[in-house]
Amino acid sequence: MRRMAAHWCLPWPCVAALLTMLSCTLPSAARANCRDELPWQALAPGVWVWPPAVDGEIGPTNAGHVVPTTVIVHGRQALVIDPGPSRAHGLRVRRSVACRFGAQVRWIINTHAHAENVLGNAAFADRLARGRLEILANATTRAAMAQRCSDCLASLTARLGEVPMADTHIVLPSRILGEGEVLRLGPYRLKVLPTEKGHTDGDLLLWEPRLRLLWVGGLVYGQRLPELAQGSVDGWLAALDRVAELRPMVVVGKTVSVATEPDALPPALVSTRQYLADLRAAVLEAMDIGKQAHEADSLALPAYTSWAGYAERQGLNAQRAWRELEPIWMERGPGPVSAPQDVGR
């Protein structure tokens, strides 16, 4: 039987190979004199991601670049997902998209209302004002940005210094995304999945089914401790179970993670879920043996001490999980903790 010619080199082995080919598939549209050095990595033809150099906490050495920025390019139009922590970062993205890909950014998507994801909107304020660009987010994220972004900007500036945050200001989304909406750009289809309440109370998920690419905002971390402060441990676990059911080949969250085998899940999805399940079990076990809420911040999970942010966040995560789980434990009473499902195989 004659096989259909592959329109793109996509299924799984090609993605794994593409991730190792940082610059060998540059688009012909790039300008000949372009000296752009941003380390875009190909996730699929036309889909590029600029990941952080290492999994780390926000600090002066990374200028706040701790989450990946994605660009999807079709012809001379581009869509950016999470433009980064500052105007400076957003400007680097904007210039690179023009120089390297010969395109203009027409759409920006903010996955959730955290400073390192959304403050890069500031680099596009002029294009927004001229009606040449839309900034998209769900209603919860827009409301949270309006309420909290000023504090987030002040906090990030205090951590990074004035120079990397220069001229960064709050630019709110201009259009609200609805669940089930499908964003179309050339051959790409980004479906807006139901809003999750795990990492925040308004986690946006975007699913490209043909490529099996999933953007999950803050729901998947690499070797860095997940941040639960504004989230829900049970909501997060449920969200990751729904994500797993999609069988994504690549997830882009706080890190980029690619399945290593055709029938496996991206490893960061599995390890993030395992951390949350271990945190949940440890908190319930502490309640079972009579520990008190004020002892939660000393609840250790030794398997994760090598992850970035462990020292800063493990105690806070345990306190947050304690507050959430205490009513459940009181309802249930002391007893064996049910083992979490293993979604990794």
Kindly list the residues in this chain that would bind Zn ion in the complex (CB under 5 A).
114, 218
Least distance in angstroms from the C-beta of 225 to Zn ion = 12
Cα distance between residue 6 and residue 26, in whole Å: 20
Q: Decide whether 64 or 218 has the Cβ nearer to Zn ion.
A: 218
Q: Are 244 and 343 in contact (CB under 8 A)?
A: yes
Q: Decide whether 133 or 220 has the Cβ nearer to Zn ion.
A: 220
Cα distance between residue 248 and residue 182, in whole Å: 18
Query: Terminal CA-to-CA distance of the chain, rounded, Å?
Result: 33
SS3 141: helix
Please identify which residue in the block is written with the tokens 């955290």: 114
Cα distance between residue 269 and residue 212, in whole Å: 14
Structure tokens belonging to residue 68: 């990946």
Least distance in angstroms from the C-beta of 119 to Zn ion = 12
Least distance in angstroms from the C-beta of 293 to Zn ion = 25
Q: Decide whether 100 or 224 has the Cβ nearer to Zn ion.
A: 224
Q: Decide whether 46 or 83 has the Cβ nearer to Zn ion.
A: 83
* Residue number with the smallest Cβ distance to Zn ion: 218
Q: Decide whether 110 or 168 has the Cβ nearer to Zn ion.
A: 110
How distant is the alpha carbon of residue 24 from its chain centre?
Answer: 26
Least distance in angstroms from the C-beta of 112 to Zn ion = 5
Within 54-181, strands assigned E span 69-74, 77-81, 104-109, 134-137, 175-176
Least distance in angstroms from the C-beta of 308 to Zn ion = 14
Least distance in angstroms from the C-beta of 116 to Zn ion = 7
| Cβ-defined contacts of 319-322 (< 8 Å, 24+) | 319/293, 320/228, 320/229, 320/231, 320/233, 321/228, 321/233, 321/279, 321/280, 321/283, 321/296, 322/283, 322/286, 322/287, 322/293, 322/296
Q: Decide whether 42 or 82 has the Cβ nearer to Zn ion.
A: 82
Q: Decide whether 96 or 200 has the Cβ nearer to Zn ion.
A: 200
| Nearest one of 28, 48, 25 to 38, comparing CA atoms | 48
Strand order in the sheet with 250-252: 182-185, 188-192, 206-208, 213-215, 250-252, 256-258
Q: Decide whether 188 or 236 has the Cβ nearer to Zn ion.
A: 236
Least distance in angstroms from the C-beta of 198 to Zn ion = 10
Please, what is the Cα angle at 45 between 42 and 51, to 5 degrees?
Answer: 20
Least distance in angstroms from the C-beta of 260 to Zn ion = 25
